[in-house]
Amino acid sequence: MSVNGAKVTEGSATILFSDPDEVFYNPVQQFNRDLSTTAIRAWAESRNQKAVAKAKHRQEIIEAREKKDENKVNSNQENSSPSGSEATAVPAEYSENNTKKKADEGNNVGFSVLEALSATGLRAIRYARELPDVKKILANDLLARAVEAIDANVKRNDVAHIVIPNKGDANSVMHSFKNQYDVIDLDPYGTAAPFLDAAVQSVADNGLLCITCTDSAVLAGNAYPEKCFSNYGGTSLRSDFCHEQAIRHLLYAIATAAAKYGRAIKPLLSLSIDFYFRVFVQVEAKPALVKNLHSQSALIYHCSGCGSYSIQRMGKTVPGRIPGSTKYTNATGPTISANCEHCGFVHHLGGPVWGGPLHDAEFIGRMRKIAENLDEETYGTKRRILGMLAVAAEELLDIPFYFIISQTASVLRAQSPPQNTFVSALLNAGYRVSGSHAKSNAIKTDAPWAYIWDVMRAWVQDHPVNYNNIKPNSAGSMILKKECTSKVDFTLQPGAEFSSKKAGYTRYQMNPTENWGPKAKAGKRKISETDVQTKSIDKVILSNLKLLFFVANILVNCIVDS
Ligand SMILES: C[S@@+](CC[C@H](N)C(=O)[O-])C[C@H]1O[C@@H](n2cnc3c(N)ncnc32)[C@H](O)[C@@H]1O
Ligand SMILES: [Zn+2]
């Protein structure tokens, strides 16, 4: 990516705009765009393969029926009089022409995209140039200035046959085209919440939603739990796993919006990146799957003392009386006692959030294969894409949330065990363990908190703590008062070193640039710069006035004295 005044080259697109402050562009989001291109390619590839397989299957059925009819005709002919040459007509739907038409439908792989909040059109142009089989992209923005920029950039990049610039409100556009767009990309300022209801209706069956939210303070902080509840239907918490919780709030909001219309979501890839969240979700018009949302939704109990947590599912599924059927029932609870069993502190309640898987393993595998062949010149963030996908691929998909080893140690005011030592203790006890893309040193495991605290107690036996540093009624003191009741074996396991580490890609990005983060709205930046200038001018005037008063005061005093 290169920025030269108002000219930007990113991926295979070069865009120009007369005033960079008039239309939004954030260079740090190149990763978002590189990643999205790769994700849409993976989704399209999988869709093509399924369509071809379906068409092939259909063709096989048709051919089998034709053969059956042919045999019937032959046996009729054999049994009838020699003059009886009447053949059974092949029904129109099985005619040769029709068979070919149906098979071709399976190969009709082109797809449409709506970039509902397009700004400069850069993303839409990149999609047009970089996605094979994309046939139409509507690049929409509310601002006339943005649409002018999109129009000029589309022509400049020779993609006018694919990208159609459009001025309109994203929600109105999506409501006007229900069940139409194969891919919808939402990349708003801050929250995508106001656009979800329209997006889940506008996307075609088995279509893909690509959604960004940059309102991290709401989704991943504890300062606005009420705002998080209003926007996403769940309460945020202060926790070590807040970044994963943020993704789960967003997925929950998408899933509940879709459920009202008999649509279920399948998260393909859900990431916490830098200062924002980006999810790739397939939407399926399958009311039977929507029933699972009940048990896929979960409340979180988070201990205010030691940070341990527990999940309370909203519903339960059990096998029905008819073999293969499912019964949907009420969950039982609460899953924990009022006070934490480890430290005695109270719990805070978070959620409900999406409690299902964050990613689809097959989809990540497909993306990784595509990413490996990306040209690094065009895809400047290739190594980061590969690194992040490698970590995401390792994540335990059935285990919501994680803890941070150093934070757990700090509750006991203890030295932090090395990651591979801690992970080995969990593996040696037969538990499953993975990291998380959302935070380095995060541990996802199916080990219960009682065992996690026992690992820490065993660690402390060999690495004593200074009890003077532990307050008498603190969570740490309560935990250390209890005996370690499990057998803990710290023998190093080869699997304790996550294999994504060995590949040497960028797994966890440091701040990509100075002053990075979500950019202010287009136009606002200009206003704030003007504000700064105005404030500086005001300061100069004020200090000059003060000087003038000071001099005048001396003169008056001199006159009075004389
Ligand atoms: C963060 S920018 C989009 C950046 C762009 N997707 C990219 O990759 O560079 C958000 C854009 O949404 C537009 N916008 C805000 N509200 C809108 C609405 N209700 N309908 C359509 N566009 C809207 C703004 O004018 C702005 O250009
Ligand atoms: Zn506790």
Q: Report the atom number in ligand 1 closest to the C-alpha of 120.
A: 9
State residue 7's pLDDT score.
82
Q: How would residue 320 be classed by pLDDT, with cut points 50, 70 and 90? A: very high
State residue 8's pLDDT score.
85
Give 301 Cα–ligand 2 centroid separation in angstroms.
10
Task: With respect to residue 157, please indicate whether it lies within any of the assigned structural domains.
Answer: no
Residues recorded for the chain: 562
Q: Is residue 12 a contact partner of residue 1, using CB atoms and an 8 Å limit?
A: no
Assess whether the C-beta atom of 215 lies below 6 angstroms from ligand 1: no
List 269's β-bridge partners, or say none: 280
Question: CATH number of the domain that 431 lies in?
Answer: 3.30.56.70
Q: Do 460 and 532 sit in the same domain of this protein?
A: no
Task: With respect to residue 555, please indicate whether it lies within any of the assigned structural domains.
Answer: yes
Assess whether the C-beta atom of 174 lies below 6 angstroms from ligand 1: no
Q: Note the ligand closest to the C-alpha atom of 17.
A: 1
Assess whether the C-beta atom of 117 lies below 6 angstroms from ligand 1: yes
Assess whether the C-beta atom of 123 lies below 6 angstroms from ligand 1: yes
Q: Which two tokens stand for residue 237?
A: 């918490």
The pLDDT of residue 508 is above 70: yes
Q: Do 484 and 554 sit in the same domain of this protein?
A: no
Q: Note the ligand closest to the C-alpha atom of 189.
A: 1
Task: With respect to residue 241, please indicate whether it lies within any of the assigned structural domains.
Answer: no
Give 345 Cα–ligand 2 centroid separation in angstroms.
5
Q: How far apart are the first and last CA of the chain?
A: 73
Give 303 Cα–ligand 2 centroid separation in angstroms.
5
Task: With respect to residue 62, please indicate whether it lies within any of the assigned structural domains.
Answer: no
Q: Final residue of a domain: which of 450, 468, 500?
A: 500
Q: How would residue 500 be classed by pLDDT, with cut points 50, 70 and 90? A: confident
Q: Do 476 and 528 sit in the same domain of this protein?
A: no
Name which residue leads in pLDDT, 172 or 108.
172
State residue 558's pLDDT score.
44
Beta strands, E only, 285-419: 297-303, 309-313, 315-319, 326-330, 347-354, 403-404
Smallest Cα–Cα separation from 462: which of 490, 481, 502? 490
Task: With respect to residue 249, please indicate whether it lies within any of the assigned structural domains.
Answer: no
Give 229 Cα–ligand 2 centroid separation in angstroms.
25
Q: Is residue 317 a contact partner of residue 327, using CB atoms and an 8 Å limit?
A: yes
The pLDDT of residue 538 is above 70: no
- Axis crossing angle, helix 382-394 with helix 30-79, rounded to the nearest 10: 60
The pLDDT of residue 17 is above 90: no
Q: Note the ligand closest to the C-alpha atom of 117.
A: 1
Q: Report the atom number in ligand 1 closest to the C-alpha of 117.
A: 12
pLDDT tens for each residue of 28-38: 789 999 999 99
Task: With respect to residue 477, please indicate whether it lies within any of the assigned structural domains.
Answer: yes
State residue 54's pLDDT score.
87
Q: Do 494 and 558 sit in the same domain of this protein?
A: no
Query: 273: Cβ–Cβ under 8 A, 6 or more apart, which residues?
Result: 31, 32, 35, 388, 509
Share of the chain above pLDDT 70, in %: 83
The pLDDT of residue 562 is above 50: no
Q: How would residue 69 be classed by pLDDT, with cut points 50, 70 and 90? A: confident
State the residue range of the domain holding 556. 523-562
pLDDT tens for each residue of 419-478: 999 999 999 999 999 999 999 989 999 999 999 999 999 999 999 999 999 999 999 999
Assess whether the C-beta atom of 212 lies below 6 angstroms from ligand 1: no
Q: Rounded to an integer, what distance in angstroms lies between the CA atom of residue 146 and that of residue 137?
A: 16
Give 336 Cα–ligand 2 centroid separation in angstroms.
11
Assess whether the C-beta atom of 24 lies below 6 angstroms from ligand 1: yes
Q: Note the ligand closest to the C-alpha atom of 149.
A: 1
Q: Report the atom number in ligand 1 closest to the C-alpha of 194.
A: 19
Q: How would residue 73 be classed by pLDDT, with cut points 50, 70 and 90? A: confident
State residue 515's pLDDT score.
53
The pLDDT of residue 76 is above 90: no
User: Which of the given ranges, 101-110, 286-295, 489-498, 500-509, has the highest pLDDT on average?
Assistant: 286-295
State residue 34's pLDDT score.
97
State residue 461's pLDDT score.
96
Q: Do 415 and 447 sit in the same domain of this protein?
A: yes
Burial (0-12, 13-18, 19+ Cβ within 10 Å), 372: exposed
Q: What is the SS3 assignment for 397?
A: coil
Assess whether the C-beta atom of 122 lies below 6 angstroms from ligand 1: yes
Assess whether the C-beta atom of 204 lies below 6 angstroms from ligand 1: no
Name which residue leads in pLDDT, 27 or 529.
27
The pLDDT of residue 384 is above 70: yes
Q: H or E stretch including 93?
A: none
The protein residue whose alpha carbon is closest to atom 9 in ligand 1 is 25
Q: Note the ligand closest to the C-alpha atom of 278.
A: 1
pLDDT tens for each residue of 183-220: 999 999 999 999 999 999 999 999 999 999 999 999 99
pLDDT tens for each residue of 83-103: 443 333 333 433 444 434 444
Task: With respect to residue 63, please indicate whether it lies within any of the assigned structural domains.
Answer: no
Assess whether the C-beta atom of 141 lies below 6 angstroms from ligand 1: yes
Q: Rounded to an integer, what distance in angstroms lies between the CA atom of residue 94 and that of residue 249?
A: 49
Give 173 Cα–ligand 1 centroid separation in angstroms.
13
Q: Do 558 and 493 sit in the same domain of this protein?
A: no
Phi, psi (rounded to 5 degrees) for 361: -60, -40
The protein residue whose alpha carbon is closest to atom 17 in ligand 1 is 142
Q: Note the ligand closest to the C-alpha atom of 344.
A: 2
State residue 213's pLDDT score.
98
State the residue for tokens 């964050």: 358
Q: Which two tokens stand for residue 526?
A: 């200009």
Name which residue leads in pLDDT, 84 or 322.
322
Give 250 Cα–ligand 1 centroid separation in angstroms.
19
Task: Calculate the alpha carbon distances from 270 to 44, 121, 273, 282, 447 in Å.
Answer: 18, 24, 10, 11, 24
The protein residue whose alpha carbon is closest to atom 5 in ligand 1 is 118
Please tell me the total count of domains within the chain: 2
Q: Which two tokens stand for residue 31?
A: 């990763």
Assess whether the C-beta atom of 51 lies below 6 angstroms from ligand 1: no
Q: Rounded to an integer, what distance in angstroms lies between the CA atom of residue 314 and that of residue 115?
A: 34
Give 304 Cα–ligand 1 centroid separation in angstroms.
39
State residue 24's pLDDT score.
78
> Which value does ipTM take for this structure?
0.98
Interior angle at CA 366, CA 361 and CA 371, nearest 5: 120
* Lowest mean per-residue pLDDT among 72-81, 330-339, 465-474: 72-81
The pLDDT of residue 531 is above 50: no
Give 85 Cα–ligand 2 centroid separation in angstroms.
87
Assess whether the C-beta atom of 195 lies below 6 angstroms from ligand 1: no
Q: Which two tokens stand for residue 363?
A: 């989809």
Query: Is the previous residue joined to 132 through a cis bond, with omega within 30 degrees of 0?
Result: no
State residue 303's pLDDT score.
98
pLDDT tens for each residue of 137-165: 999 999 999 999 999 999 999 999 999 99
Assess whether the C-beta atom of 497 lies below 6 angstroms from ligand 1: no
Task: With respect to residue 465, please indicate whether it lies within any of the assigned structural domains.
Answer: yes
What is the pLDDT averaged over residues 392-406? Answer: 97
State residue 86's pLDDT score.
39
Smallest Cα–Cα separation from 88: which of 62, 65, 70? 70
Q: Note the ligand closest to the C-alpha atom of 347.
A: 2
Q: How would residue 222 be classed by pLDDT, with cut points 50, 70 and 90? A: confident
State residue 104's pLDDT score.
47
State residue 59's pLDDT score.
87
Q: Across all residues in the chain, what is the average pLDDT?
A: 87
Q: Rounded to an integer, what distance in angstroms lies between the CA atom of residue 360 and that of residue 393?
A: 9
Q: Report the atom number in ligand 1 closest to the C-alpha of 185.
A: 6
Centroid of chain to Cα 30:
16
Assess whether the C-beta atom of 142 lies below 6 angstroms from ligand 1: yes
The pLDDT of residue 239 is above 50: yes
